[in-house]
Structure 1
Amino acid sequence: MPSHILVIDDDPVQRRLLAGMVEQLGHVAHHAENGRVGLSLLEELGDQVDVILLDLMMPEMSGHAFLEEVAQRGIDTPVIVQTGQGGIETVVHAIQAGAFDFVMKPVSPERLTIALHQAMKVERRHAPWAGERADAGEDIGFASIVSASPAMIRALDLARRAAECDIPVLIEGETGVGKKRLARAIHQESQRAERPFIVVDCAALTPVHAEAILFGRERGLGPAGAPRLSGKFRDAEGGTLLLSDIAALPMTVQAKLLRAVQFGEIEPVNANHPIKVDVRLMVASGRDLIAEVREGRFREDLYYRLSVFPIALSALSRRREDVPALVRRLVQRLGAEYGHGSGQGIDAGALALLTAYDWPGNIRELEATLYRALLLAEGRELTVRHFPEITARTGPIGLRSMAADGMSARLAAATPEVEAETPGKVAVLGAPEAEPRTARSDGLIATLDSTGDVRKLAEIEEDIIRFALKFYRGQMSQVARKLGIGRSTLYRKLKDYGIDPDNPLSSAA
């Protein structure tokens, strides 16, 4: 049975293009040139409309006004907003107002397909989260991976192609972006799905034992002898072996790994002859392997053998389109795993807050944050008050909980306003509790001293660094990134200003 999609856009060309994409997917498209006409159609069609595709910038009634009106009328049809201008603040406003998802213009057919699919799976009006339950179980294939952003769509397309063959795959990306999950999905969708999937964390291997753990040991040394080890390659026989953090392998082990890749054979410790193995090899790295090759820490010949089919996973901060869907899926899964049942949800304010955050720890940090929030939750819905750490770190976006009466939190998505006429002061945007040493009462850093002269640049820099240390709770990586300097530069400046790097909060603003 086809779904009914309401397309609201004031641009007739864009409206026809979107309607054409919707119809090519087998759905029924309804047209509206602005928000008022869209509301009239929504009243006329009633529950027949499954998803609303809404432009934000329109005359007569904008997309934001439409979202407010829909919320007031109690209509909970999933709304996908599309915008061609504005940054994360625009997205935050839309999600705060109740949007289910967002797409950036010009939207590709692939991105629209995924957004519509995710919105239609929710079916919030009839059975909350019913569509997600199948994915919250044991599914570990590609369908279980959230793919809303263009970067993730490209990565999944490459991964599907990789699943069709047996060549080595190199998955690169920051810690916590989901490299292991993608590798498992490739294995699950390959012809080796029924065989073992073995993961080895190379960073956890000591140089002494790495060779025996990977390739095995035939017999021990000394009178008593050491126990025989089969090795991870033989444990993965017929299946897939994933070497995580491959750059951590010692150079001597890299040489033996090269032989395994080239000839499909391994040489266990103390063995007289090499052993043939049938293993599909995948490797993952959070480091830039090309840089490791240049520095002489990784074999160049091994790199070119392993990087035949590279797949890069972007950091979560560069694919914010994935955050709303990830949050919903994780809340559903974690809620079911930890006793909250299948009805656990998250309100619009909290979803906007999580979308605005940078997530330096990527999906792993997001999952840990949601887990903590679920432990704190007493009701059936997560709100802003369940994420105090994120509220304190959102910085210039200025997201703050406005709900003192226990109702759903609302967010102020605009940055704090500072009067331009304020003489001799520089604005530092941030939460009221995170104020610098100078002019604590007004959240500003003075640029003039008590005599009316301009303060030294080093003094102002010291104030900003101390402020950042307090604002980001001493998280040095985040402080350096937000200040736009390297960690080594930050540590040098801490030393110059007499700030203890091991206990930066003790001398912060």
Structure 2
Amino acid sequence: MHKVLIVDDDPIQCRLTSETVSKAGFDPIAVESGHEAMTVLRRTAGIGAMILDLVMPDMDGMAVLEAMKREGIVIPVIVQTAQSSLDTVVSAMRLGASDFFVKPVAPERITISLRNAMKMGTLETTLRAERDKRAGTFGFTHIIGTSAAVGRAIALGKKAATSTIPVLIEGESGTGKEVLARAIQGSGDRAGKPFITVNCGAIPPNLVESILFGHVKGAFTGAVANAPGKFREAHNGTLFLDEVGELPPETQVKLLRALQEGEIEPVGASKPVKVNVRVISATNRRLLNLAKEGHFREDLYYRLNVFPIYMPPLRDRREDIPALVEHFIARFAAEEGRRVSAIDAGALEMLTSHDWPGNIRQLENAIFRAVVLAETTTLRPADFPQILAAVRGPETARSEAAQTAAPAAPIHIDNAPPLPRLADINPASIPDRFLDKDGNLLPLAEIEKDLIAFAIDFNAGRMAQVARQLGIGRSTLYRKLKEYGLDGSEGSNVA
């Protein structure tokens, strides 16, 4: 549940606003001065928005907005005041206010403004994280999660950021190891410098050495130009070696020398090259076990494992799932242009109870699919059919899907009935429009009469269209109507 900070020196107004916020599904925190508000903002995590009164003694609302801007506290602020002045509105908006209303205000207006502010705040956080990631200033504040398990990893990461010590991040696939590595780099002295990522498990063995350390022109067939390699691309910055346990043994030897001596030897080069690179490595398997089995060099393991950090799986930090879900909904709804804005309690409970073997990456993809295919603005359990089947069983998933207003589903290939064979069809059971009940051919006049009657009914009495479709003139059509006794000309639309 999001926390909403309410700042108003009027105790009655403060209490009324708190009740409105509580009924809207948020957790209100009420204070009666600007100084108290700043203290709460500095010490309390998880505040999603603030309702701020502008006119207060000592520290007024404008001073609070200025202090927030000065200290880099970024949350949506809804300003309220009893004085409606255009200059006041403009000043508040320039200082970062997201909405403005004049007292007294209807509870519905507060609720709508709060929900819009929460949505905007989540989207702004996402965009700011992407900008910081590109700029190399991605920090620990961008990591979503307040659980104790991820808190330990963040605390260790902050300590690692203050030095150039080699860091080894272990954890299952999809737990956010690269996100933690970016936060370590963005919070240290190398912030803003290159952050180069190498997936060691995705490089062909014969190209690993060239990609990491580079090569000179003519070093091997196809080397038509010099290539710097990832180490030189990351000079003065950080090199992130993902799935480092997949490196071949011959490359492990050269990596060990690069870490110890701070120099690399490009393929085909006559002398080594000095590099200033901080290495952060990650693996989804225990490197110690690989070293004991002889698949990874022990000396390299001890060189990489100077400062180990463990990223917990999502099943060990379930309390972080609601915040992650909200983040992904806001992000994908904006990217895909969808009007999805929330998730109902049943669906959120289902996602929280799932074990997520693919961790955050699997959750992200599940939300992406649900946002794209959702028929309503609120995600429901039926929008997660695979998770619903895994958590509550396939029967529940089918019943939930049946209750969802959606186009008729096609017949599954396993349940498609066979087409009838000609031998199974009784010709006598098929009526013929050219035969009477005794099997004799109908007269031409009867067939023509039935065709004209059908055409009139099909075209809703529009005689000009009937004549065009039958390929006859309108005078001929009226003559035949009179001849066959069809009362189609009276009351018809002859346009």
- Tell me the TM-score range normalised by the shorter chain: 0.5 to 0.7
Matched, 1:375 2:379: no
What's the counterpart of residue 359 of structure 1?
356
CA contact (8 A) 2:314 2:355 kept: yes
What's the counterpart of residue 279 of structure 1?
277
SS at match of 2:365: helix
Q: What are the within-5 Å matches in structure 2 for residues 110-125 of structure 1? A: 113-114=44-45, 116-117=46-47
What's the counterpart of residue 350 of structure 1?
347
Change in CA separation of 1:284 and 1:4 when aligned onto 2, cut-off 3 Å:
closer
What's the counterpart of residue 324 of structure 1?
322
Q: Deviations over 1:108-131 (max 9, x none)?
A: x9xx944x4358768965232232
What's the counterpart of residue 218 of structure 2?
220
Instruction: For 2:221 and 2:362, locate their aligned partners in 1 and report how far apart those are by CA, in whole Å.
Output: 49
Deviation at 1:146, TM superposition (A): 1.0
Instruction: For 1:212 and 1:264, locate their aligned partners in 2 and report how far apart those are by CA, in whole Å.
Output: 17
Change in CA separation of 1:49 and 1:160 when aligned onto 2, cut-off 3 Å:
farther
Matched, 1:76 2:52: no
CA contact (8 A) 1:196 1:237 kept: yes
SS at match of 1:190: coil
Matched, 1:237 2:235: yes
Q: Deviations over 1:351-370 (max 9, x none)?
A: 11111111000000001101
CA contact (8 A) 2:5 2:28 kept: no
Letter in 2 for 1:46: L
Change in CA separation of 1:393 and 1:4 when aligned onto 2, cut-off 3 Å:
closer
Equivalent residue for 1:47, pick from 17, 30, 41: 17
SS at match of 1:208: helix
CA contact (8 A) 2:213 2:232 kept: yes
Equivalent residue for 1:137, pick from 118, 121, 127: 127
Instruction: For 1:4 and 1:336, locate their aligned partners in 2 and report how far apart those are by CA, in whole Å.
Output: 24
Matched, 1:249 2:179: no
What's the counterpart of residue 477 of structure 1?
none
Matched, 1:384 2:381: yes
SS at match of 1:136: helix
Letter in 2 for 1:137: L
Q: Relative to total residues, which structure has the larger helix share, 1 or 2?
A: 2
Change in CA separation of 1:303 and 1:225 when aligned onto 2, cut-off 3 Å:
closer
- Percent identity over the alignment is 43
Give the alignment's TM-score, normalised by structure 2: 0.59
CA contact (8 A) 1:218 1:228 kept: yes
Unaligned runs of at least 5 residues, structure 1: 7-26, 29-40, 53-73, 81-108, 408-509
Q: Deviations over 1:305-364 (max 9, x none)?
A: 1111111011101110111111111111111111125x6211111111111111000000
What's the counterpart of residue 92 of structure 2?
none
Instruction: For 1:127 and 1:171, locate their aligned partners in 2 and report how far apart those are by CA, in whole Å.
Output: 39
Instruction: For 2:312 and 2:220, locate their aligned partners in 1 and report how far apart those are by CA, in whole Å.
Output: 49
Q: Greater CA radius of gyration, 1 or 2?
A: 2
Letter in 1 for 2:158: R
SS at match of 2:329: helix
Q: Deviations over 1:130-178 (max 9, x none)?
A: 3212211031422221122101011111112222211111111000001
Q: Deviations over 1:410-446 (max 9, x none)?
A: xxxxxxxxxxxxxxxxxxxxxxxxxxxxxxxxxxxxx
Change in CA separation of 1:134 and 1:222 when aligned onto 2, cut-off 3 Å:
closer
Deviation at 1:261, TM superposition (A): 1.0
CA contact (8 A) 1:5 1:51 kept: no
What's the counterpart of residue 21 of structure 1?
none
Give the alignment's TM-score, normalised by structure 1: 0.57
Letter in 2 for 1:126: S
Instruction: For 2:44 and 2:76, locate their aligned partners in 1 and report how far apart those are by CA, in whole Å.
Output: 15
CA contact (8 A) 1:5 1:49 kept: no
Letter in 2 for 1:138: R
Q: How many residues matched? A: 320
Deviation at 1:49, TM superposition (A): 6.0
CA contact (8 A) 2:252 2:297 kept: yes
CA contact (8 A) 2:240 2:281 kept: yes
Instruction: For 1:404 and 1:206, locate their aligned partners in 2 and report how far apart those are by CA, in whole Å.
Output: 47
Unaligned runs of at least 5 residues, structure 2: 30-39, 51-74, 78-110, 130-137, 406-495
Instruction: For 2:76 and 2:390, locate their aligned partners in 1 and report how far apart those are by CA, in whole Å.
Output: 30
Instruction: For 1:390 and 1:203, locate their aligned partners in 2 and report how far apart those are by CA, in whole Å.
Output: 29
Q: What are the within-5 Å matches in structure 2 for residues 104-253 of structure 1? A: 113-114=44-45, 116-117=46-47, 126-128=113-115, 129-139=119-129, 140-221=138-219, 226-253=224-251
CA contact (8 A) 1:50 1:77 kept: no
Change in CA separation of 1:4 and 1:381 when aligned onto 2, cut-off 3 Å:
closer
Deviation at 1:235, TM superposition (A): 0.8
Instruction: For 2:221 and 2:394, locate their aligned partners in 1 and report how far apart those are by CA, in whole Å.
Output: 68
Instruction: For 2:237 and 2:4, locate their aligned partners in 1 and report how far apart those are by CA, in whole Å.
Output: 44
Letter in 2 for 1:127: L
Change in CA separation of 1:352 and 1:389 when aligned onto 2, cut-off 3 Å:
same
Letter in 1 for 2:387: I
Instruction: For 1:207 and 1:44, locate their aligned partners in 2 and report how far apart those are by CA, in whole Å.
Output: 66
Q: Deviations over 1:436-458 (max 9, x none)?
A: xxxxxxxxxxxxxxxxxxxxxxx
SS at match of 2:318: coil
CA contact (8 A) 1:132 1:329 kept: yes
Instruction: For 1:398 and 1:45, locate their aligned partners in 2 and report how far apart those are by CA, in whole Å.
Output: 47
SS at match of 2:282: strand
What's the counterpart of residue 303 of structure 2?
305
Deviation at 1:226, TM superposition (A): 4.2
Instruction: For 1:370 and 1:306, locate their aligned partners in 2 and report how far apart those are by CA, in whole Å.
Output: 35
SS at match of 1:209: helix
Instruction: For 2:221 and 2:113, locate their aligned partners in 1 and report how far apart those are by CA, in whole Å.
Output: 71
Instruction: For 2:220 and 2:4, locate their aligned partners in 1 and report how far apart those are by CA, in whole Å.
Output: 75
Q: What are the within-5 Å matches in structure 2 for residues 397-412 of structure 1? A: none
CA contact (8 A) 2:381 2:400 kept: no
Instruction: For 1:228 and 1:166, locate their aligned partners in 2 and report how far apart those are by CA, in whole Å.
Output: 29
